[in-house]
Amino acid sequence: MSFQDFLNHILSREGVRRLLDAHSSKKYTVKPRRFRNFPTIDPEKCVVCGACADACPVGPSDGKPPALEMTDKGPVLHEDRCIRCGLCAEVCPVSAIQVGTLHEEREEVVKPPKPAEIAVDPDLCIGCGRCERVCPSDAIHVVDGTAEVDRESCVLCEACIDACPVAGAIKLLPMDVEELRRCWTKIVDTKRREVGSR
Amino acid sequence: MVCCLLKKLKGLIRSRSIHVSVVNTGGCNGCDIEILACFTYRYDLEQYGIYYHNNPRKTDVLIVTGPVTEQWKDKLPKLYDKVPEPKAVVAVGSCACSGGIFNQDGGRVGGGAAEFIPVDAEVPGCPPRPDEIVKAVVEVLPTFFRRWEFERGGGDGR
Amino acid sequence: MADKAPRGVTVIDLDTGEEKPISHHVPVGPHHPILKEPLRIKLAIRGEEVVDCKVEMGYCHRGIEKIMEGMPWQKAAFLAERVCGICSHAHNMCFIGAVESVSEGEPARRGLFLRYIVQELDRIQSHLIANAAYFYSIEHETMFVWNMNTRERVLDCIEKITGNRILTGWNVVGGVRLDVDEDTLNEVIEVLEEKVVPDVETYRKIASNDPFIKMRSRGVGVITEDMIRRYRVVGPQARASGVAQDIRTIEPVYPEVGFRPITRDHGDNLDRILVRYDEVLQSVELIERMVEELPRGDHRVEMKVEGGHVVNRTEAPRGELVYDMEISRGGVVKKATIRTPSVPNIRVLEAIAPGAPSVADAVAAYASLDPCVACNERFIVIDRDKDEIVFSGKAREVLRACRSKTS
C-alpha cells in the first residue's frame, strides 16, 4: 500500500470509523477441527423419532423449553439453552444432526467393491434405449445417442446385455483380482476397527 | 445543531472507553475464565478500548455469567442500580441467557439474568469461546453507547 | 478479641474518658474487585491488623446433586462437569470412574492413558490460573499476564486433543470419546517442551528470587500441620506444609509412570505458589512418559453398568475430590454426594487470616489458597466439639431451603 493509498484510506468514511471506533473486521481465530459447535438439524434427513430430545440433558422448567424441543414438525433447537454437549448427534439414527466433532470418523465410508463392471462400447451402441427400459435399478441411461452406466447403482444383473440388439455393444468386464483383494482387505480392517470401537 | 454535535461527541467518547465489570451470579466459573482470557495477550479486548474494572460504581457494562441463584435474586437488581447511567448488560453463557442446564427439575436457580434486570445482549454457548465473546462485545457495545444519547433524549437517532 | 491489648488507632470516649480502639468490620464480597466468584469474607480489623475472619458461602448453590438424581450417566456426566469450570475434567473423570467401578469389565487401557494425559494438562492450566490470580491479588500484573499467556498455550493443547478449551465432555464409560493420533500427541509434547517448560522455569525463578514477591509472600498465611488436621486441608495447600498427601499414588496409571508427590516445608503463601510450579513441571514429565507408554488398541470398550453404592476418589488440581454415589442397574444415578477440595481449603482462611498485619495480606492469603467457589457449595456440616455447626450465616438458610425442597 502506497502512502497515498494509506492517506486515502484514513480519510475515507470507513477509515475514519475504524480509527475512531472500536471496530474490527478481521476474523478472530479459526475454530479447531474437533470443536463441537451448535448442532445443525437437517430437516430432509430427519425421521422425527425423538431420540435427540430424549437424550438432551437440558430438561424443561417452568417457562423455559428444553434445549432440543420435539414439536409436530420435528426437533427445534433453542440456542440460548443449548450447552453444546453433542449427545443429540451421538444418538441420531440417521445422522441428521451435525455438531462438527462426532462424525469425524464416519466421513470415510468404505463400500464393498463390485467384482465386475458393465461397459458400453460407444462405437457399437445405437442408442435404441432398450437397456434403459429393462434396467431394474435405473442405472443405465441414453445420453446423446449413447448408453451410459452409473456404477454406483448398477447391480450387475446383466439384463441390459440380454436386451441389447447389437452383439458386443454392452460387455461385462471382470475386475482385476489383485485390486479386488486389496479392497476387501481394507474393508475387513475398517470393520474390525469399528466393532472394536463400539 | 450544537446540541446534536455535543451528543455525537459524547457518544463517540463513550464508545471509545468502556469499563466492564463481571458478575458471577452462581455460574460454574467456565465463562468467567473465558472472559478473563479475553483480557490477556491473545484476544486483548483492551485494544478496542474496553477495560476490565470490577467495580460496579465505576463501570459502564455489567457482564453477567451464571444462572441467578437464590442468594443473588435480591442482590443482582441492587447491584444493577449502583451502576451509573449509561449502562448496558451483557449475558454471557447459556446459564445467564436462560438458566442453562441448571434450570430444570430440582435446580434452585432463576431463569437467567433477563428475569431480574434488563439485558441488552446475549452470548449463548456453554461456555462461549473467547472469540465469540470478543465478537459480540465489539459489535454491540460501541454502537450501543454511540446511540444511547439520542435514544434516551428522543433524538433523530442518527 | 476484646482481651487483646489495644493497638493501632485509638479514640477517647467523651462520656467515660477511656481509650478505645477503633475496630471495623470489612465485608469483602460477594461482588468485589479481587473476587472472580461470589463469596463473602467478613474481616474484623483493629487499626490495620486483622483480628477475626468469617467466611460466608452459599452464593453459588445450584442444587446439582438434586438435578442429578434420576439422570442416566450419559447426561449426568455433563452435569458433573459443570460443578466447576476450572477443574472440570477432574469432576468428569471422577464421576465416570465411579460409574465404571460398578460396571462389568475393565475400561480400555488406551482410553485410560488418554484420560490421564488430559487430566495432567488440566492440572497445568488450573495451577497456572491459580498462580496468576495470586499475583493479581498482590498487584504483580506482569506475572499475571505472563501466567495467563502460558495457560493459553496449554489450553491450545487441550483443544487439539479434545476439541474444547474447557468443559470438554471427554470421558465416557469404558474410555474416552474420540481417539487421538500420534501426530497430535507429538505436537502437544513439542509445545509443552519448547514453550511451557522454559516459561514456567522462569516464573519459578522470578517467584523465588524477586524481593517484592518475597516481602509480600514469605511468612504470610502460614498453615501448620495442626491446622491441616483440624480443617482437613488437601492438595497443594497441604503439600506446601510438608504433608505428602496425594490420591494420585493410589490411582491407576500413575504408579506405572513413576509418580511421587512433591512437598515443601514452610507452608506460607510463597511455598504454595512454588509447589504449584513444581507440580506443573512434574505434570509435563508425566505426560511425556504416558505418551511414551501409550498402549495401542481401542480407545473405548463397551461396559455394562451393574449398579450399587460407590465411593470414588480423584486428585483434582485443588486436592482430593470424592464422589459418593448410588447407581441403579443400567446407569441411572439414584443419589450423589460430592465432596470438593475447596471446602476445607477455604475454611482454613478463618485460621490463617487473624493476625495478618493488614487486610491486603489476608486477601493475598485467600488468593493463595486457590479458592474455587463454584466447587464450594456442597454443604458438609461438621460438628465441632460442642455441637456447633461449622457453616454459619447464609449457608444455613440455603440448607434450610434445600431441606424444604427435598423433603
- pLDDT tens digits for A111-144? 667 778 888 888 888 888 888 888 887 888 888 8
- CA C339, CA C91: separation in Å to the nearest integer? 10
* Minimal-distance CA residue of chain C relative to B101: C79
Q: How many interface pairs between B and C have CB atoms less than 8 angstroms apart?
A: 129
Contact between B31 and C85 using a beta-carbon 8 Å cutoff:
yes
Q: Cβ contacts (< 8 Å) between A81 and chain B: which residues?
A: 94, 97-100
Q: Cβ contacts (< 8 Å) between C62 and chain B: which residues?
A: 26, 67, 69, 102, 107-109
Contact between C60 and B105 using a beta-carbon 8 Å cutoff:
no
Nearest to B28 among C33, C38, C82 (CB): C82
Of A61, A76, A107, which closes a domain?
A: A107
- Confidence band, pLDDT 50/70/90 cuts, at residue C9: low
Which residues constitute the domain of residue A45? 40-107
- Confidence band, pLDDT 50/70/90 cuts, at residue C389: very low
Region C106-302: CATH code: 1.10.645.10
C-alpha cell of residue C371: 479458592
Residue C120 has pLDDT above 70, yes or no: yes
User: Can you give the pLDDT at residue C338?
Assistant: 87
Residue C97 has pLDDT above 60, yes or no: yes
Q: Could you tell me if the ipTM is greater than 0.90?
A: no
Q: Is C85 on the interface with B (CB under 8 A)?
A: yes
Q: Which residues contact C360 (CB under 8 A, 6 or more apart)?
A: C138
Q: Is B99 on the interface with A (CB under 8 A)?
A: yes
User: Can you give the pLDDT at residue C343?
Assistant: 81
Q: Is B56 on the interface with C (CB under 8 A)?
A: yes
Nearest to C75 among A34, A57, A102 (CB): A57
Contact between C59 and B26 using a beta-carbon 8 Å cutoff:
yes
Contact between B105 and A20 using a beta-carbon 8 Å cutoff:
no
Same domain (yes/no): A103, A132? no
User: Can you give the pLDDT at residue A106?
Assistant: 44
Chains touching C (at least 3 CB pairs under 8 A) are A, B
Residue A60 has pLDDT above 50, yes or no: yes
Nearest to A83 among C74, C78, C297 (CB): C78
Same domain (yes/no): A154, A87? no
A151 belongs to a structural domain: yes
- Confidence band, pLDDT 50/70/90 cuts, at residue C112: very high
Residue B20 has a CB neighbour count (10 Å cut-off) of 22
- CA C342, CA A27: separation in Å to the nearest integer? 39
A118 belongs to a structural domain: no
Nearest to B33 among C58, C59, C129 (CB): C129
Same domain (yes/no): A100, A131? no
User: Can you give the pLDDT at residue C383?
Assistant: 47
User: Can you give the pLDDT at residue C127?
Assistant: 94
Alpha carbon of C100: minimum distance to chain B alpha carbons (Å): 24
Q: Is C159 on the interface with A (CB under 8 A)?
A: yes
User: Can you give the pLDDT at residue A45?
Assistant: 85
* Minimal-distance CA residue of chain C relative to A99: C163
* Minimal-distance CA residue of chain A relative to B17: A22
C-alpha cell of residue C94: 471422577
Same domain (yes/no): A76, A45? yes
Q: Cβ contacts (< 8 Å) between A100 and chain C: which residues?
A: 163
Q: Is C194 on the interface with A (CB under 8 A)?
A: no
User: Can you give the pLDDT at residue B3?
Assistant: 83
- CA A88, CA A84: separation in Å to the nearest integer? 9
Q: Report residue A141 CA to chain centroid gap.
A: 25
User: Can you give the pLDDT at residue A197?
Assistant: 52
User: Can you give the pLDDT at residue A103?
Assistant: 47
- Confidence band, pLDDT 50/70/90 cuts, at residue C3: very low
A21 belongs to a structural domain: no
> What tens digit of pLDDT does each residue of C155-185 get?
989 988 888 888 888 899 988 988 888 888 9
Contact between A61 and B122 using a beta-carbon 8 Å cutoff:
no
Q: Which residue has the higher pLDDT, C376 or C148?
A: C148
Residue C190 has pLDDT above 80, yes or no: yes
C-alpha cell of residue C270: 510463597
Q: Which residue has the higher pLDDT, C317 or A14?
A: C317
> What tens digit of pLDDT does each residue of C230-280 get?
888 888 999 999 888 888 898 888 988 889 999 999 889 999 999 999 999
Residues of each domain in chain C carrying CATH 1.10.645.10: 106-302
User: Can you give the pLDDT at residue A13?
Assistant: 73
Q: Which of A131, A22, C109, A49 shows the shortest CA–CA distance to B143?
A: A22
Q: Which residues contact C12 (CB under 8 A, 6 or more apart)?
A: C18, C19, C20
User: Can you give the pLDDT at residue C402?
Assistant: 55
Nearest to B29 among C64, C67, C374 (CB): C374
* Minimal-distance CA residue of chain B relative to A79: B124
- CA B61, CA B52: separation in Å to the nearest integer? 10
- Confidence band, pLDDT 50/70/90 cuts, at residue C380: very low
Q: Is A4 on the interface with B (CB under 8 A)?
A: no
Tell me chain B's radius of gyration from C-alpha atoms.
16
- CA C269, CA C221: separation in Å to the nearest integer? 6
Report the domain count for chain A. Answer: 2
- CA B75, CA B81: separation in Å to the nearest integer? 10
Nearest to A84 among B48, B105, B125 (CB): B125
Nearest to B124 among A21, A59, A82 (CB): A82
User: Can you give the pLDDT at residue C16?
Assistant: 77
Q: Cβ contacts (< 8 Å) between B43 and chain A: which residues?
A: 28
Residue C32 has pLDDT above 80, yes or no: no
Q: Is B50 on the interface with A (CB under 8 A)?
A: yes
CATH of B17-151, one of 3.90.226.10, 3.30.420.40, 3.40.50.150, 3.40.50.12280: 3.40.50.12280
> What tens digit of pLDDT does each residue of B50-71 get?
888 788 888 889 999 888 888 8
Mean pLDDT over C328-332 rounds to: 89
- CA A22, CA A78: separation in Å to the nearest integer? 30
- Confidence band, pLDDT 50/70/90 cuts, at residue C388: very low
> What tens digit of pLDDT does each residue of B2-23 get?
888 888 888 888 888 888 999 8
Q: What is the DSSP letter of C193?
A: I
Mean pLDDT over A38-53 rounds to: 87
So where are chain B's domains?
Answer: 17-151
> What tens digit of pLDDT does each residue of C68-88 get?
888 899 889 998 988 888 888
Task: Please report how the helices C359-368 and C109-137 are oriented relative to each other, as an axis angle in degrees rounded to 10.
Answer: 170
